[in-house]
Amino acid sequence: MNTFDLFNKVEDLDPELEAHFNKSHGFPCIQHPLVYSMMHSPQMNAVVNYQLKHKKEAVEKAKKEKNWNSYVFLHERAYRVNALSGIVQFIKTKQYWELLASVWVDSENIFQNEELWNKLLCVSLPGTMMNKGEAKKLDHMPDEFEIYRGYSISNRWKGLSWTIKKDKALWFATRFKRPNETAKLAYGTIKKEDVIAYLESRQESEIVVFPGKIKNLKKEIIVDAVLKEKENN
């Protein structure tokens, strides 16, 4: 059945999807681990019901075949870390860290699942999230160096994701800043031995680290003059 036929088919919404029906920014939507439908309308019920049925079949097939990459990425982005958490015991060492890195890079809001990320980053398996090039670059960094994190929500400095580039941190400080929020910069020093990973795939010169390991931590408000200069450059 093609999409056109599904749009012309009248169906009630699957109860499993109904349980994940809510509103986002005032618009009706479905946010199920396997199916997202933004600005959902009843005319789309048959489409999302079809998607759910076939996504569930694909997930079960991937699990049976131990295709863990497909299993995780069949889930919607916001649920991929949860999917990974549920199959940790089945994954071989090297593949675990490679898949963890892929999910990390794909994630947009690490802070929303920070407790779970803390758990996954502490799995006692040998290996690393870094590829060979990233590991080599980290190896050539000083034994101790400065890292930065931009934020605009109170206490968000405590995150796991930092950068060695101040300009990139400034960009993050204003990326989602609302009019009533203040752009801020946190910075401090980190020992190379305490770095979990150095990642370049998002061109962010990203340092993954537990914030408790950061020394000489300072926080400051980014004044308008700095922001204007950054925009002009």
Residue 2 confidence (pLDDT): 62
User: What pLDDT is attached to residue 196?
Assistant: 97
CA dist 186 and 67 (Å) reads: 40
Amino acid at 120: L
pLDDT classification of 174: cutoffs 50, 70, 90:
confident
Task: Please state the rounded mean pLDDT for residues 197-210.
Answer: 95
Q: Which residue has the higher pLDDT, 92 or 50?
A: 50
pLDDT tens digit string along 23-37? 877 899 999 999 999
- The model's confidence at residue 109, banded by pLDDT at 50, 70 and 90, is confident
Contact (Cβ atoms closer than 8 angstroms) between residue 149 and residue 172: yes
Q: Mind listing the pLDDT tens digit for each residue in 54-100?
A: 999 999 999 999 999 999 999 999 999 999 999 999 998 889 999 99
Q: Which tokens belong to 115?
A: 């407790």
pLDDT of residue 233: 54
Mean pLDDT of 2-17: 81
| Per-residue pLDDT tens digits for 175-184 | 877 787 888 9
Residues 97 and 160: their CA atoms lie apart, in Å, by 16
Closest CA to 196 of 214, 208, 205, 213: 208
pLDDT (tens digit per residue) in 206-224:
999 999 999 999 999 876 5
Predicted pLDDT of residue 10: 79
Query: Is 231 a residue whose pLDDT tops 80?
Result: no
Reported as a single tens digit per residue, the pLDDT across 139-167 is 999 999 999 999 988 778 889 999 999 99
> Residue 19 pLDDT more than 70?
yes
Whether residue 225 is predicted with pLDDT greater than 50 in this model: the reply is no
Q: Answer positive or negative: Cα dihedral of 7, 12, 16, 21.
A: positive
Structure token pair of residue 118: 């803390």
